[in-house]
Chains A and B, each alone.
Chain A
Amino acid sequence: MELFRLNGFPTEKHYYLFNGDFVDRGSWSTEIALLLYAYKWLRPASFFINRGNHETDDMNRVYGFEGECKAKYNGMFKSQVPSIILPSHEGRDFTKQHTDRTFKLFSESFSALPLATLVGKKYLVLHGGLFSDDKITLDDIRKLNRHNQRQPGQAGLMMEMLWTDPQTEPGRGPSKGWECNLGQTSRRDFVRTTV
């Protein structure tokens, strides 16, 4: 990866934080994911990965990561997959299908990823953004048990932490999907009240 060659390889003196969305869209998602994971395994205390909205099953089905896993590391096995409804595959039933083991293992590992990182008690780094409810504080994030749900769903703290986008207008606005956009004033308010 050019990033490490140009910017320096991860060491105990050079921390890295990858803020999500390292898969989908490109054709080298498995390679990137495996490389980041290899570094996480090598340096768990100085290499960090936040989950992004693309580290989710719905996105990986549509934007290529599941297909890439199948094509490169095909290991089909029979699995029980809960029925879900995708916006693009309305009503399709995914129960009892053959699944690729590599993708499934990745999917389970994505569900285990942290949703945010607080750097030096000052900088909150997360892939999506802040919340539709102004009363949410860092303690609410600390208390969130992400292991209760594998996928972010369409509402709730986990969904907003992965999906919220910034906007140039102040305040809040509707967004492309179910999440909301946050303007600068809302972001500043969060900083003032919670950090």
Chain B
Amino acid sequence: MGDEPSAAEGLDLDSMVVDEDYDGARLEKEMTTEFITDMLERFKNGKKLHKKYVYQIILAVQKIVYDEATMVEMEIPDDAQLTVCGDTHGQLIFGQQWFRSANIVEANSSI
């Protein structure tokens, strides 16, 4: 990394308060499927996440991916499947058209 200070410097998540009247699911120290379900619903309705949660999510993921290898080496268990997709480019509604036009490769370890 260069000398440039991180945007996380001076950011005190604990001091950020999510108001009582925030109508979305609450995020604590771990991500949950309930939070994601609520998030999807909010986005469909044109609502935003609380800024605290946005910061929390980005920082948590940065920490996870930073420790991953430059080339991640993964194995897919026999009873699992893998979907590879790319170039979604900020489209919330893909629909069937997207499946036809984009590169979706379904693979599992037996291929």
Contacts and interface: CB of A to CB of B under 8 A. Distances in A.
Contacts of A35: 36, 39-40, 43
Contacts of B104: 7
B74 interface: yes
Given A17-B82, A18-B88, A19-B84, A41 B64 contact: yes
B75 interface: yes
B49 to A, nearest CB: 6
A174 interface: no
B71 interface: yes
Given A18-B85, A19-B85, A42 B76 contact: no
A13 B83 CA distance: 11
A17 B83 CA distance: 6
Given A16-B82, A21-B88, A150-B1, A44 B64 contact: yes
Given A38-B36, A105-B55, A119-B74, A32 B90 contact: yes
Interface stretch (A85-93, A141-149, A182-190): A141-149
Contact of A48 (B51, B59, B72, B95): B72
A179 interface: no
Interface residues of B, number: 64
B80 interface: yes
Contacts of A80: 4-5
Interface in B1-57: 1-2, 4-8, 10-11, 31-33, 35-36, 39-40, 43, 48-49, 51, 54-55, 57
Given A125-B84, A141-B71, A145-B70, A28 B90 contact: yes
23 contacts: A13-B79, A15-B83, A16-B85, A19-B84, A25-B89, A26-B89, A28-B90, A29-B89, A31-B43, A35-B39, A42-B32, A44-B64, A48-B74, A72-B48, A77-B7, A102-B58, A109-B65, A112-B66, A114-B69, A116-B71, A118-B71, A138-B71, A148-B1
A-B pairs, 8 with minimum CB distance: A26-B90, A29-B90, A104-B7, A19-B86, A28-B92, A109-B62, A112-B66, A41-B31
Given A27-B90, A108-B7, A118-B71, 18 more contacts: A2-B93, A15-B83, A18-B86, A22-B90, A25-B90, A34-B54, A37-B57, A37-B61, A38-B57, A42-B32, A49-B65, A54-B89, A73-B48, A101-B55, A105-B59, A109-B62, A114-B71, A118-B72
Interface of B: 1-2, 4-8, 10-11, 31-33, 35-36, 39-40, 43, 48-49, 51, 54-55, 57-62, 64-66, 68-77, 79-96, 98-99, 104, 107, 109
Interface of A: 1-3, 6-8, 12-32, 34-35, 37-42, 44, 46, 48-50, 52, 54, 64-65, 68, 72-73, 75, 77, 79-82, 99, 101-102, 104-109, 111-121, 123-125, 127, 138, 141-142, 144-148, 150
